[in-house]
Structure 1
Amino acid sequence: MSEEEWERFLRESVAGAAGAPVEPSARAREVERRLRERAGQPEGWRTYSPARPHRKKGWYVVGLVTALALLAVGLFPQQVVGWFGGDGGQDGAPLAAESENPREAPGAEPDLRPTLAEPFRGSPAARWADGAAGITVPPAKATGWMDAAQVERALRQSRDFLVDAGLDSRVLRGERPTKAIALLNPHQADVQEYLRTALSSTAPTSETDPLLLFSRFRPEQARLVGDVVKTRGRLTYQEGKRGAVEVTADVTFVYPVTPAGDGGRDAEVVRTIARRKVVMSWDNPAKVITEPGTMSLVSYALDMTNGGCSAPTGYFVPSFGTAAKQPTDKAHQVDPYDRSKPIGAGNGTTAPSNDCATATRS
């Protein structure tokens, strides 16, 4: 290599040859990497992106509103249903079982006429349980002379008595309440006398009316619509006299009926509503003369509407076609669905005190 070529080589080594590739800088390599990893328009080196706002406060508000809504549903379910357009009809959610004394009457329902297809339409009973399922039985614990298992059996038989007396289809047709009578202490003289008189007399008095304990309709006057009777109520118990287990039943029965001779699709449907309070004593056989599996009656009372306002006949006598013509006595109006008030006004073994009062709804 000549001296001229060697000097030219040294100069190009220091200054770089024209057109030779140039290695990118560190910043250029970083930009290129970000462009490959991110889609869309790249941010400039001095572009500012504000931080997203925190949303925790919004979630706190949503949680608080939800909690308040659930509390309102728990405390005032009927009113909440009304706020959202619920009609309280047969499509409404069933009510929870009654576990304590109600504090107020059920909320107002739309004024809808009952039909053969929907006999409880327009009634609070549309959301009640069917038959025996509507009678709440509390947990059993040892009381008086009975252990827990015996108390459980006494509660079950107490409910059986209510079912046999107020729901049995044969009894509702006017037949003798044989199964219910079998649960009554045959040695209780006053009750046995009541049964003989009440179930044999053609002209019972207010004290010997079989309706005090048993639900009955004359087949030639009225017939039940379908096979469902709505009920709501509960049993309670405590230690009674001489260590007995005293069971108190407070139950409302709703009977949809139609005229016996009217079988058309547009037949009139009305409801007879009976509320009974029966106090039963499951006595210690070591202290009271009784028979196994039977109980003594302490008291019994009845409130009813649309069951008849004339002299007692021993049967419910619902009014058909005349309810709208009957005068309204505002001084004696009752809400048959209001279970917050005590039943009756007598000594517990007399006829209903409001059987001829005007019902505010049926």
Structure 2
Amino acid sequence: MGDPREPPEGAPEGGSGNEDEFRSVVFDESFVRAARIQELSAQERLDGDHPRATRSRIGFGALGSLPRQAVALLLVVVLAFAAAVYFGVSSPHRPGTVPSGAQLTSSTVALAPPGPVAAVTDPAQPFAGLAAGYADGAAGLGLPAAAATAHFTRGEVARALETAQRYLTASALAPATVAQSETGQARALVTAGEQTQYDESVATPRDDQRHAATGWLVRFDPGKVALASPTVKVAGTVTVDEVDSGTLDLVADHTLVYAVRPAGTADAPASLFSVRRELRLEFEHGDIGTGRLRIVNAVVQAGPTACGTDTSAYLQPLLAGAAAGAAPVSPADHSRPAWQLCGVLGPLTG
């Protein structure tokens, strides 16, 4: 008798007819789900005329053979990664961002009066007793004639001097800045790399040699001090040099004298308040083209002021009749910054 496992007509030609050779083929779930032909459902067959009982499935290439859960997970991972890259690169407020460009360092020296602060003798001419050598406002800045340097043209130096004059005027001579807490005029002339430091100094001033508003501006607390005259007397010079082939260096060293009185009392006696201000300003070629500057260092001497007064937000004049001698400073007192200095105010010579 023949083998009962063989078909009645015998084994197909060219084959053994044994099922063992097909046992290695496994039709698992992924194989079945990846099939391109899918039978129509009973509802689909009832809903309309279909020329055939099957429909084609949309293929997704290599992804078509993956389980749906795996495809969904892959899409979630890709979207999350794309979002992380986008927000990480495009956000303008990333923590830890360091402002570019040189940053300002500043210090202020209080000058205490040797006795009571004298009132001016003629309120209509508060500067009448001032020594010779001072001029009104920008006329006293003493800017030199522009001349070419080794790596900067005469035109570039002229534009740098013009920007320096605009900053000196906006930051120390404009009544709105000095007595009304206006800060935008000076800020507009500072490079973008320093504007963050500038804004922090104005918003939250502190005596740390980095964030004193008075390192950038000459200003008085409008609730305490008013100008008795809009005129500011100025004497000083501006010198021009090069730091290197790409940096122009200007040093502005001026003494400024203000007539001040208590705020809200137009008939109160006026007195003089003096500020020596030495600024080191730097310009790169690009800064000159945009009319911006970097302030690298500021040293301010101001008086009459009481020793130990916090001048980070505003300069604090002692007004007519007030007195405050130089207080002793103990080297063992670590509650005060070591850089805080105090001197005795001398005469305002030109």
TM-score by length of 2: 0.57
Query: Residue in 2 aligned with 1:207?
Result: 210
The aligned residue for residue 156 of structure 1 is 162
Q: 1:147 to 1:242 in 2, by over 3 A?
A: closer
Deviation at 1:233, TM superposition (A): 0.8
* Residue ranges of structure 1 left out of the alignment (5+ in a row): 1-110, 333-349
User: CA separation of 1:202/1:208 partners in 2, compared to 1, >3 Å: closer, same or farther?
Assistant: closer
Q: 2:177 aligns with which of 153, 171, 178?
A: 171
Q: Distance in 2 between matches of 1:153 and 1:161?
A: 12
Alignment deviations for residues 24-80 of structure 1 (CA, whole Å, 9 cap, x no partner): xxxxxxxxxxxxxxxxxxxxxxxxxxxxxxxxxxxxxxxxxxxxxxxxxxxxxxxxx
Alignment correspondent of 2:303: 305
Q: For this pair of structures, how many residues does the alignment match? A: 223
| 1:317 equivalent in structure 2 | 316
Pair 201,272 (structure 1): closer, same or farther in 2 beyond 3 Å = same
Instruction: Sort the Cα spacing of 1:351 and 1:138 in 2 relative to 1 into closer, same or farther, 3 A.
Output: farther
Q: Greater share of strand residues, 1 or 2?
A: 2
| Alignment partner, residue 325 of structure 2 | 327
SS at match of 2:285: coil
Equivalent residue, structure 2, for 1:225 = 228
Among 98, 102, 126, the residue aligned to 1:119: 126
Partner SS, residue 256 of structure 2: strand
In the TM superposition, residue 262 of structure 1 has moved relative to its aligned partner by 2.2
Write the deviation string for residues 199-227 of structure 1: whole angstroms up to 9, x where unpaired.
Answer: 00165545321111201112221111121
Structure 1 residues 181 and 202: CA distance shift in structure 2, 3 A: closer
Listed as ranges, the matches of 1:17-96 within 5 Å are: none
What's the counterpart of residue 284 of structure 1? 285
Check whether the contact 2:172–2:218 (CA below 8 A) recurs between aligned residues.
yes
Structure 2 SS opposite 1:256: strand
State the TM-score, normalized to the length of structure 1: 0.55
Query: What letter is aligned with 1:360?
Result: G
Q: 1:239 aligns with which of 242, 256, 259?
A: 242
Shift of 1:175: 2.5
In structure 2, relative to structure 1, the CA distance for the partners of 1:296 and 1:261 (3 Å cut) is: closer
Cα distance in 1 for residues equivalent to 2:231 and 2:338: 26
The Cα RMSD (Å) is 2.9
Q: Deviations over 1:140-192 (max 9, x none)?
A: 11124321122111111111110110011111124332222222110x2xx33
1:112 CA drift (Å): 8.4
- For 1:293, the aligned partner's letter is G
Q: Is the 8 A contact 2:119 2:270 kept in 1?
A: no
Look up the equivalent residue of 1:358 and give its one-letter code: V
3-state SS of 1:136 partner: coil
User: Residues 176 and 145 of structure 1: is their aligned pair in 2 closer, same or farther, counting only changes over 3 Å?
Assistant: farther
2:67 equivalent in structure 1: none
Paired AA for residue 167 in structure 1: L
Q: Distance in 1 between matches of 2:195 and 2:186?
A: 13
Measure the CA separation in 2 of the matches of 1:247 and 1:202. Answer: 26
Q: Give the distance between the partners of 2:347 and 2:123, measured in 1 at CA.
A: 18
Deviation of 1:290 after TM superposition, in Å, equals 8.8
Paired residues of 1:256 and 1:270 also in contact (CA < 8 A): yes
For 1:304, give the aligned amino acid: A
Q: Which has the higher contact order (CA 8 A, sep 6+)?
A: 2
Distance 1:165 1:223 in 2: 17
CA–CA separation in structure 2 for the residues paired with 1:224 and 1:262: 11
The ranges of structure 1 where at least 4 consecutive aligned residues each deviate by more than 6 angstroms after the TM superposition are none
Q: Distance in 1 between matches of 2:338 and 2:293?
A: 22
Distance 1:223 1:120, change over 3 A: same
Q: Note if contact 1:144-1:243 (Cα within 8 Å) is conserved in structure 2.
A: no
Q: Is the 8 A contact 1:171 1:177 kept in 2?
A: yes
1:147 and 2:133 matched:
no
Deviations 1:221-261 (A, max 9, x none): 11111211000111110122233221111111111101113
CA–CA distance in structure 2, aligned partners of residues 217 and 318 of structure 1:
8
CA distance in 2, matches of 1:129, 1:145: 33
Q: 1:311: Cα distance to partner?
A: 2.0
Q: Give the structure 2 partner of residue 58 of structure 1.
A: none
* Structure 1 CA distance for aligned equivalents of residues 218 and 229 of structure 2: 16
1:263 Cα offset (Å): 2.2
Whether the aligned pair in 2 keeps the contact of 1:206 and 1:351 (CA below 8 Å) is: no
Look up the equivalent residue of 1:118 and give its one-letter code.
Q
1:228/1:326 CA distance change after superposition, 3 Å = same
Name the amino acid aligned to 2:189. L
- Given that residues 246 and 282 in structure 1 are in contact (C-alpha distance below 8 angstroms), is that contact kept between their aligned partners in structure 2? yes
Q: Identical aligned pairs, as a percentage?
A: 25
Relative to structure 1, the CA distance from residue 112 to residue 258 in structure 2 (aligned partners, 3 Å threshold; closer, same or farther) is closer
Cα pair distance change 1:237/1:353, threshold 3 Å: farther
